[in-house]
Every structure is written in structure tokens, then in C-alpha cells.
Structure 1
Amino acid sequence: MTLISAEIPVIETGRLILREPRMADFEAHAAFLTSGRAQFVGGPLDRAQAWRGFSSGFGHWILLGFGMWTIEEKATRQPAGRVGILNPEGWPEPELGWHVYDGFEGRGIAYEAALAARSAAGTHFGITAPISFIVPENTRSRRLAERLGATIEREGEVLGQPCLVYRHPREAS
């Protein structure tokens, strides 16, 4: 049997570890995607759809060499969300995306993780100025993008939904 693997860099910040997704992360991921909190990322979904999204994340790393990291909080060793670079079929270019699980919001985790992921995208993958698709009503993500220095570049559409396309400042590669 041949096993397929991907090299996923581990990124550490003061409070967080950005690491590969693990089977043990699925319950937290499914809880997020099956809740109303997932409304701005195509949800809520049922568990089977959440599984397909979770498992396709592994394929993203294998096929494209980059993807979403699990955000692990060092203090609790619990998965706190996901952050990383997406570029699935139909995307015009790589996107920096994030979501934080219930109980971890409002603590600067998304900012710290997104800043580290954006820097790693430039360093490890040569993705130096990603975009972020953000639904106009998602005020928390809009504030985060702006705090990260991203600015609205244009209006767009993702998964059939109107969005704003934020451009992040250029990172070193």
C-alpha cells in the first residue's frame, strides 16, 4: 500500500500552534460547520457535508502544497479554528481564510493566526498578497481583514454569493 503525505509546516506564535489537521479535530470542525456560526462560510452544513469539507482540506495540501492549518491554542491544546490559504476550483487566486470555533472568539486568536498564516504563505509558498472573500454582512471578518492591513479591492462573488474582495499587503517571499 502506498501512503500519500504532504509536508505541512508547523507555525508557532506566542499563544498558538498552526499545524496539520488531525482526525481528533473533526468534532470541533463539525460543531462549527453545522451551527449558525458557519453562515458566512457556506453553512450551516450537515455532518456529511462537514466531513467532505474537512477531508478535502487534506487533498488541498496534497494537490496544491498549501491549505488550511488547524489553530491549536497552546494553553488548552484544543483546536480553536482554522486558518490558511485556499485556492479551490473556481477561485480566481489564492485566498487567506479563517474561522474561529465557539468559545475562542474575541481573544485575538484569529488575528494572531491570520498574521502568522499570511507570513508563512509568503515564506513557504510564494503567495505574497492573497485576497480574502468576505460577505459584506460579516462585520467581524471585515474588521479583522482591515486590522491585518487588507483593503477592499473590488466587489466579487464566491460560491454564488456576493462578497467583497479584500487584498492583503504584500509579504516577503
Structure 2
Amino acid sequence: MTTALPHIPTLETERLVLRGPRMGDVAAWADFVASDRSRFVRGDDTSLCTSWRGFAHVAGMWMLRGYGTFVFALKDTPDQALGMTGPWHPLDWPEQELGWTVWSAEAEGKGYAQEAAREGRRFAYEDLGWQTAVSYIDPENARSIALAERLGCTLDPEAETPDFDGEAVLAYRHPAPEALQ
């Protein structure tokens, strides 16, 4: 039995390449998960085994949904992952999400996440045909809230949110595709 792998496009921005997750990214992902920097996107278990399962979940979204998050890197060092961004929709989440993570402190404050997230949103709207998207954000994640606002998102108190074991979560609504033209 042969299973066809999904086509994962490679996208480019002025400075970045957005590509599918690769086995070579696992170490950078695991380092991120083991750090305090990942506290808003993971549970308490930061073991390599749990990191691997989380990464496999990310990669598997491409197989099961036909889309998923992209790993982003600088064009001149495409094998050195800086983070992840793009369309995301776990089975039990009420809406399609556009998410992002920056895996190392050295990659913060340079606009990479914003640049990558804009391209991930463009992909979701233009290539996937999404008409709306949210970003679910922990209320204490000030950096992510600031990025959502720089992307033109607004807090949507009416949006249904996933159940994160009773933890609070905010839904930031992305501008509609026609608003970005």
C-alpha cells in the first residue's frame, strides 16, 4: 500500500523561507519546548518524547488536513529553523487558527514572526480559501497579543475558544481577506 504524501509548498518573503517541517527541525523544536519561552503553547511535560509527539502533530496536520504550519527560516540559512507559523486547526478547536511561535530569543525583535505570519495568512486566505481566522492567545502572552495587533487583529470576545483545561484564552480575529487588499 502506498500513501501519497501531501504537497507542502515553499513560500518566500523578503527575508524568509516558509517550508514544511523536517526531521532536522526536531532539535530546535525540542529546545524551544524545553525552555520557558514555550510556556504559552504547551503543557507541563517538556520531555523529548512529548516534544517529539507535539512536532509529529504539527507535521501530521499536513497529511490529515492538507495544510499545516510552516517552519520559517532566513533565506540564506533555510535549514536553521527560527520558528513556525501558519494555518492550524486541531479537530476539537471551534475555528481555524493562524498561529506562530518563535523558537529562539535571538530571533525575536527582528520582525521575522510578523513577516512570516503575514505570509502564512496570505496562504490561508488566497490558497486555501479561508474567509476568516482567529489566533488563540493566552492573556498573559503580551508579545503574541502585540503581534496579533500589528497584524491588524482585534479581540473577539464573542468567538468560541478551545477548552484548555479551564485556562483562559483570548481569540483575536484576523481582518477578512477583502480588508487586506
Task: Establish whether TM, by shorter chain, passes 0.5.
Answer: yes
Cα 1:138–1:27, aligned 2, differ >3 Å: closer, same or farther? same
Amino acid at match of 2:121: R
RMSD: 1.7
**Mapped partners of 1:117, 1:154: distance in 2:** 24
**Mapped partners of 2:8, 2:163: distance in 1:** 26
Does 2:142 correspond to 1:139?
yes
Amino acid at match of 2:164: L
**Mapped partners of 1:94, 1:157: distance in 2:** 11
Match of 1:117 in 2: 120
Contact 2:92 2:162 in 1 (8 A): no
Match of 2:60 in 1: 59
Match of 1:8 in 2: 8
Contact 1:118 1:171 in 2 (8 A): no
Amino acid at match of 1:94: Q
Amino acid at match of 1:82: M
Structure 1 unaligned regions, length at least 5? none
Q: Superposition pairs for residues 15-164 of structure 1, below 5 Å?
A: 15-43=15-43, 45-77=46-78, 78-102=80-104, 103-154=106-157, 156-160=161-165, 161-164=167-170
**Mapped partners of 2:3, 2:162: distance in 1:** 37
Amino acid at match of 1:16: L
Structure 2 unaligned regions, length at least 5? none
Contact 2:93 2:162 in 1 (8 A): no
After TM superposition, the structure 1 stretch with the greater mean CA deviation from structure 2, 70-79 or 83-92, is 70-79
**Mapped partners of 1:14, 1:114: distance in 2:** 13
Does 2:181 correspond to 1:165?
no
1:50-84 residue CA offsets vs partner (Å, 9 max, x unmatched): 10011122221111111110101113331110001
Contact 2:86 2:121 in 1 (8 A): yes
**Mapped partners of 1:151, 1:43: distance in 2:** 26
TM-score by length of structure 2 reads 0.90
Contact 1:70 1:80 in 2 (8 A): yes
**Mapped partners of 1:128, 1:115: distance in 2:** 15
Q: Whose strand proportion is higher, 1 or 2?
A: 1
1:96-115 residue CA offsets vs partner (Å, 9 max, x unmatched): 00001112111000000000
After TM superposition, the structure 1 stretch with the greater mean CA deviation from structure 2, 154-163 or 9-18, is 154-163
**Mapped partners of 1:79, 1:8: distance in 2:** 16
